[in-house]
Amino acid sequence: MSGMTEATLLPVRATDVGATAFEVARLALAVAGLLFALYVIVLGVLALAAQRRHR
């Protein structure tokens, strides 16, 4: 009986691990996006500041 319960639980656990992994993947992608947006903003602001100093 207990073995059968274990067998039933395994696919559920695997699905949980899979769902968690996808959530981690999504979060990691979001952090990458945040860093890239920061990079573009900082580059843009500094380039504009350099341009203004030379006007």
- 35, with CB counted inside 10 A (0-12, 13-18, 19+), is exposed
Integer angstrom CA distances of residue 50 from 19, 41, 55? 46, 14, 9
Task: Examine residue 9 and tell whether it contacts another protein (CB under 8 A).
Answer: no
Q: Out of 1, 4, 12, 50, point to the residue binding another protein (CB under 8 A).
A: 50
Nearer to another protein, 5 or 54 (CB): 54
Residues in contact with another protein by CB under 8 A are 11, 14-15, 17-19, 21-22, 24-39, 42-43, 46-47, 49-51, 53-54
